[in-house]
């Protein structure tokens, strides 16, 4: 499913480009995550500005072959494919006759499948058309990859944060079961699992027994309910070696019993990950089953390890609650759980942000090379297309940098350096960073720096970062009028910066949450204007780190004034 309106338009434009060169009645697109195709497939109509038709349709045999082999497949007459029920359903829904499926590959991984639908008489693509289509899908690959980055980051962060909060609040067996089921729901969605379970280690018997499950076949459910020993070839191996284990249940005799229980549900791939608590103590094992077999990358295993942490926290909290009866002990546990939750969230955000930044920098670099003419001269339309890629990637990169800053602050790895602040230079650089966005909307940016402002010593780069964030926020929520930057002496000494706009404004009821992570004044503004709500949260942390304060005054329909005040020096900063 296409993630945002902006992504939808970019991909629609690419779809139209394909249709200009290769005639098609519909063009299909299905995203693939962790090697597993999404349930929804989008059907695009070339030269049609309307949103694509989203169809809830299982993967056909033909499309499954493309995803597994990463090679194109041509179906001359879909109506005659009696053995492929889902393909015939697709043909009936869209009136399809000929279908040409092809993989979209980025960084050696399949990220989507694309299909060309032709109505009327059966039609085979010529060799020249197949070559053109292959080149066009290569162009589409970074767009598809970029479309999923922002949503993936938000989904992973929000899911893990929610799970960590649930785990922190576990005080009863019912709370524990609720948290474990939530973990399985979230992880199954991300990993594309068809069935999953959590087995807990019984310290006395040294057996792993089922404590939570999702869609387990009866045979496996009974097997895990009874309990398995640490000699088990899948979960037992993951438990004893303290590493993730991936298996093809049909490939080796040692998995024969497990495969016999899973085969009736068409489950073949298995992935077991140990859950470790404090000081590496083994607590349980998370195991997932799927209908396909695939390798698990090191990054995917790290992500799985992160999703075991809510399980570890929940189990350990329950154990501690069972043993503890005093109020003082409960308070200590809650504080420790909160500290761990925040640390794990910060680690998760840092890992994901680093993993996203690497391919994103490549996208920006290659796009800039195209814009500079390294691969030949571009016409006006091509330059506009490349600039759209660069602008969207830069926007996402700024969001990732904000996420990294939050993670560094949470882990107390965020030093500031004190130097004399050159107000003119800081304001000029901040304005320059948002000038192109403001010009595109016809907004005028005015500046006013009082001549009576005292000299202060602070971190100039962090001041520029905060000012840029507030300016960017004002440009985003202002459709007409102007934006004004004022710099003047603060009443209590130091300097006050303010950014005044003629934007949409918002109600004061939103103020208590405005500077929290992933929050905006109104959830509807996220859909209308985009953004994650990280910029203001980072700005608040930075201003406080500089020893200052930040706030806002706003009137709906009139505009907003964001301000921050800084002292003459930062207490405890390095020169």
- 5-136 and 173-296: same fold? yes
pLDDT in tens, 130-189: 888 888 888 888 877 776 666 666 666 777 777 777 777 777 778 888 889 988 888 887
Roughly how many angstroms between the first and final C-alpha of the chain, as a whole number? 50
Q: How far apart are CA 204 and CA 124, in angstroms?
A: 66
The stretch 89-117 carries a mean pLDDT of: 87
Domain at 419-566, CATH from 3.40.50.300, 3.30.70.1400, 3.30.565.10, 3.30.70.20: 3.30.565.10
The per-residue pLDDT for 434 is 87
In terms of pTM, does the model score above 0.85?
no
Q: Which fold has domain 173-296?
A: Beta-Lactamase (3.30.450)
Query: Taking the mean position of all CA atoms in its chain, how far away is CA 347?
Result: 15
Q: What pLDDT sits at residue 292?
A: 82
Q: Give me the pLDDT at residue 207, please.
A: 95
Say if domain 5-136 classifies as CATH 3.30.450.40: yes
Q: Residue 482's pLDDT is what? A: 92
Q: Return the domain boundaries, the chain.
A: 5-136, 173-296, 419-566
Using CB atoms within 10 A of its CB, is residue 12 exposed (0-12), middle (13-18) or buried (19+)? buried
Percent of the chain whose predicted confidence (pLDDT) is above 70: 86
Determine the pLDDT at residue 428.
Answer: 94
CB atoms near residue 44 (< 10 Å): 26
The DSSP string of 529-550 is: H---S-HHHHHHHHHHHTT-EE
For residue 182, report the phi and psi dihedrals to the nearest 5 degrees. Answer: -65, -40
């Amino acid at each position: 499913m296409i993630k945002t309106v902006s992504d939808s338009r970019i991909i629609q434009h690419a779809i139209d480009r394909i249709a200009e060169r290769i005639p098609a009645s519909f063009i299909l697109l299905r995203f693939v995550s962790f090697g597993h195709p999404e349930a929804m497939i989008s059907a695009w109509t070339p030269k049609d500005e309307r949103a694509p038709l989203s169809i809830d349709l299982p993967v056909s045999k033909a499309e499954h072959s493309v995803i597994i082999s990463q090679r194109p497949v041509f179906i001359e007459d879909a109506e005659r494919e009696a053995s492929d029920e889902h393909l015939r359903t697709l043909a009936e829904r869209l009136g399809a006759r000929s279908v040409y499926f092809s993989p979209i590959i980025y960084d050696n991984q399949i990220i989507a499948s694309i299909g060309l639908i032709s109505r009327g008489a059966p039609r085979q693509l010529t060799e020249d058309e197949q070559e053109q289509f292959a080149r066009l899908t290569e162009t589409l690959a970074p767009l598809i990859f970029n479309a999923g980055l922002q949503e993936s980051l938000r989904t992973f962060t929000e899911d893990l944060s929610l799970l960590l909060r649930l785990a922190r609040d576990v005080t009863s067996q019912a709370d524990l079961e609720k948290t474990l089921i939530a973990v399985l729901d979230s992880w199954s969605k991300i990993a594309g699992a068809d069935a999953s379970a959590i087995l807990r280690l019984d310290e006395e018997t040294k057996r792993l027994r089922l404590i939570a499950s999702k869609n387990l076949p009866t045979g496996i459910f009974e097997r895990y309910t009874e309990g398995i020993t640490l000699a088990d070839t899948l979960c037992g191996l993951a438990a004893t070696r303290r590493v993730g284990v991936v298996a093809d249940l049909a490939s080796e005799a040692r998995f024969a019993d497990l495969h016999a229980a899973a085969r009736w549900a068409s489950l073949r791939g298995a992935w077991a990950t140990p859950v470790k608590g404090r000081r590496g103590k083994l607590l349980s094992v998370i195991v997932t089953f799927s209908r396909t077999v695939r390798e698990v990358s090191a990054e995917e295993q790290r992500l799985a390890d992160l999703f075991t942490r809510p399980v570890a926290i929940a189990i350990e909290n329950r154990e501690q609650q069972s043993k503890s009866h005093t109020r003082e002990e409960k308070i200590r546990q809650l504080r420790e759980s909160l500290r761990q939750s925040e640390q794990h969230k910060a680690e998760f955000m840092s890992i994901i942000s680093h993993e996203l930044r690497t391919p994103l920098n490549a996208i920006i670099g290659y796009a800039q090379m195209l814009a500079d003419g390294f691969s030949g001269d571009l016409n006006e339309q091509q330059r506009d297309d490349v600039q759209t890629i660069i602008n969207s990637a830069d926007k996402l990169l700024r969001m990732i940098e904000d996420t990294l800053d939050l993670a560094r602050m949470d882990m107390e790895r965020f030093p500031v350096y004190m130097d004399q602040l050159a107000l003119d230079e800081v304001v000029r650089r901040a304005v320059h960073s948002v000038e192109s966005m403001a010009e595109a909307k016809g907004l005028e940016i005015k500046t006013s720096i009082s001549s009576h402002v005292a000299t202060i010593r602070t971190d100039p780069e962090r001041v520029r970062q905060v000012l840029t964030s507030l300016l960017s926020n004002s440009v985003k929520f202002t459709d007409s009028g102007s934006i004004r930057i004022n710099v003047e002496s603060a009443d209590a000494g130091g300097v006050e910066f303010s950014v005044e706009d003629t934007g949409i404004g918002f109600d004061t009821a939103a103020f208590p949450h405005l500077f929290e992570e992933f929050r905006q004044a109104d959830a509807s503004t996220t859909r209308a204007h985009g953004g994650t709500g990280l910029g203001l949260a980072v700005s608040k942390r930075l201003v406080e780190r500089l020893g200052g304060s930040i706030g806002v005054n706003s009137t709906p329909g009139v505009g907003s004034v964001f301000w921050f005040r800084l002292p003459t020096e930062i207490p405890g900063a390095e020169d």
